[in-house]
Structure 1
Amino acid sequence: MDKVGAITTPNMQLPMIAEMQQMAAIASNRVEFGTTLPQPAGSSLFAQGNGTNSPSFSRVLRGAIDSVNNLQHVASDKQTAMDMGVSDDLSGTMLASQKASVAFSAMVQVRNKLTTALDEVMNTAL
């Protein structure tokens, strides 16, 4: 997880990374459950506020989809450059392709979870 800090990440991802690091510490028994690790200021995605600065769900989802789309376009451009002989950066091309693949797989899993949750809500008896 230390390598994640070396990559420039958007501000929206920093709180998620902090929460993932906390979960990893709990899972590896380095920290007892219930103990909170120090987090950077404003790092909670679910911080309560007056609502003026909190993004809507649709805006966050649209940003995630756009990010995945951007990764796929970058990977496609690098693959095209490799195929045409313009670039010889095979490792960069493969890395971009794998990033796009992992991001797309994660997006599909999120879609499946949202679909399952919607089905459960629709089948709930009132």
Structure 2
Amino acid sequence: MTRLTQVAGNEAVTPASNESGISTDFTQVIRSINQQQNIAADLMTAVDTGQSDDVVGAMVASQKASLSFSMLMEVRNKVLSGIDDVMRMSL
């Protein structure tokens, strides 16, 4: 469980290479958020089954994953709104 806690605390999203485009960046962010959610689920399962007493750590990881997902949805909505605005422009 300490490995999961260490991984949950050291999340950083950085571009993998100099050839990164927006789709590569979004893919990397989505994978990072998915990893955060998996770690939070593992920590919650460990608390539920009695393998760990770190309820606070599990809740923090869960809230962190939830906040990351909410932020991703807001960014997605802004990007889609921008695309709609560009599509409505007259030439």
Using structure 1 for the length normalisation, give the TM-score: 0.59
Identity of aligned residues (%): 40
Find the aligned partners of 2:43 and 2:35 in 1 and give their Cα distance: 12
Find the aligned partners of 2:63 and 2:12 in 1 and give their Cα distance: 20
1:12 to 4, 11, 14: 14
Find the aligned partners of 1:108 and 1:125 in 2 and give their Cα distance: 28
Gaps of 5+ in 2: 1-8
Name the residue aligned to 2:73: 108
Residue 54 of structure 1 deviates from its aligned partner by 3.6
Write 1 or 2 for the structure with the bigger share of helix.
2
Bigger RCO of structures 1 and 2 (CA < 8 A, at least 6 apart): 2
Residue 99 of structure 1 deviates from its aligned partner by 0.7
Q: What is the Cα-based RMSD across aligned positions, in Å?
A: 2.0
Using structure 2 for the length normalisation, give the TM-score: 0.79
- Give the counterpart letter for 2:49 in structure 1: M
| Structure of greater Rg | 1
Relative to structure 1, the CA distance from residue 90 to residue 103 in structure 2 (aligned partners, 3 Å threshold; closer, same or farther) is: same
Name the residue aligned to 1:80: 45
Residue 9 of structure 1 deviates from its aligned partner by 5.3
Matched residue pairs, number?
82
Name the residue aligned to 1:41: none
SS, match of residue 66 in structure 1: helix
Find the aligned partners of 1:8 and 1:123 in 2 and give their Cα distance: 42
Name the residue aligned to 2:84: 119
